[in-house]
């Protein structure tokens, strides 16, 4: 620059170059498949505003997807990407329950599935008072990416063993053997195990069904 006396001077100025800022975000996910995703933040934790591509998290497909954040102009910020994992939903798995005999003592419904899912049942206890098949629904606890599952549990009618009439028998005669299988297919044993013809009278013989047949004692 030349002044009024013809002297030349140098005019200096400073120019600052600012580092580009990388937008920072808290981790997002993993997210359960088909769940309601959180909104992608419009401002980073270090104060950068911008927009996302894609703009919304898609949870329809279990996969790892890339989401790109582009800062708004005038912030000396660079774009960045994050990875968001969508996890496959799990079906709780259980061993078979029942079938049960009417009025029998059922097993306690487990609060943890075979594949490690915790939750609760509705109804909470198996009811064996009424024969038929009833649905029992297991609802997983939150945060496990697991789906509810419904299982049908069957309760069978208690069967009364049926027998053909025996006797009357003559005193001291050779009695027939008591049948070990009823006419309706129930196996078991008798108390007493043999007919006694030494003493005249009417006597009661009780048939005790073998286990696992949903049959009632008779006699």
Backbone angles phi, psi at 218, to 5 degrees: -135, 155
Residue 41: the pLDDT is 97
Residue 61: the pLDDT is 94
Q: Tens of pLDDT along 50-69?
A: 999 999 999 999 999 999 99
Q: Answer yes or no: are the C-beta atoms of 25 and 41 closer than 8 Å.
A: yes
Residue 158: the pLDDT is 87
d(CA 77, CA 29): 25
Q: Could you give the percent of the chain with pLDDT greater than 70?
A: 92
Q: Tens of pLDDT along 65-94?
A: 999 999 999 999 999 999 999 999 999 999
Q: Tens of pLDDT along 166-190?
A: 989 999 999 999 999 999 999 999 9
Residue 216: the pLDDT is 86
d(CA 101, CA 10): 105
Q: What is the mean pLDDT of residues 112-135?
A: 96
What tokens does 31 get? 């997210």
> Which of 170, 214, 174 has its CA nearest to residue 194?
174
Residue 80: the pLDDT is 97
Q: Answer yes or no: are the C-beta atoms of 178 and 195 closer than 8 Å.
A: yes
Q: CA–CA distance from 148 to each of 10, 98, 103, 125, 202 (Å)? A: 79, 20, 28, 17, 59
């Amino acid at each position: 620059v030349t002044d009024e006396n013809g002297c030349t001077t140098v005019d200096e100025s400073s120019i600052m170059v600012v580092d580009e800022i990388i937008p920072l975000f808290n981790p997002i996910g993993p997210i359960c498949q088909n769940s309601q995703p959180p909104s992608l933040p419009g401002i980073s934790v270090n104060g950068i505003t911008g927009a996302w591509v894609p703009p919304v998290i898609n949870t329809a497909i279990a996969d790892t997807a890339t989401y790109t954040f582009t800062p708004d102009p005038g912030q000396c910020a660079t774009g960045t990407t994050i990875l968001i994992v969508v996890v496959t939903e799990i079906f709780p798995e259980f061993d078979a329950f029942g079938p049960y005999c009417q009025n029998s003592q059922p097993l306690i419904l487990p609060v943890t599935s075979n594949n490690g899912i915790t939750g609760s049942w509705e109804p909470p206890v198996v009811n064996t008072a009424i024969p038929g098949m009833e649905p029992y629904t297991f609802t997983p606890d939150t945060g496990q990416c697991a789906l509810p599952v419904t299982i049908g549990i069957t309760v069978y009618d208690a069967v009364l063993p049926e027998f053909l009439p025996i006797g009357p028998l003559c005193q001291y005669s050779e009695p027939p053997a008591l049948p070990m299988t009823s006419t309706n297919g129930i196996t078991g044993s008798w108390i007493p195990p043999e007919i006694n013809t030494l003493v005249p009278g009417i006597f009661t013989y009780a048939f005790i069904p073998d286990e696992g047949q949903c049959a009632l004692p008779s006699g």
